Amino acid sequence: MDNEQIIHEFLLKFKGFKKGAKMHLTDTIKREIVKDFHFNTDDAINSILNSGYFKLETHDAVSLTDEGFEYANQTHY
C-alpha cells in the first residue's frame, strides 16, 4: 500500500466525525489500514503531515484541517 492510499484510507476514518476529532496516527495505520504491526510508519506519517489534510495535535494524534474535513465527508467509493 502506498502513501497516497494510506492518506485516503486515513481520511475516510474521519468520515462522519465532528470537526476537531482526533485520531492516533501510528496505531490507526498499523492496526486498521495496513493491518501489519511491523509496518514502518515513518514515511506514511511524513506524507500524512505534509498532505495539508491533517494538523498535528500531539506527538501521535492528528485532527483534520478544513480541507481534510471536506474531503473526508465527501462520498467516496
Strands, DSSP E only, in 10-64?
A: 23-24, 54-58, 61-64
Query: Could you tell me if 14 and 67 are in contact, meaning their C-beta atoms sit under 8 angstroms apart?
Result: no
Confidence of residue 76 (pLDDT cuts 50, 70, 90): low
User: Taking the model in full, what pTM does it have?
Assistant: 0.89
pLDDT tens digits, 45-58: 999 999 999 999 99
Average pLDDT over the chain reads 94
Confidence of residue 77 (pLDDT cuts 50, 70, 90): low
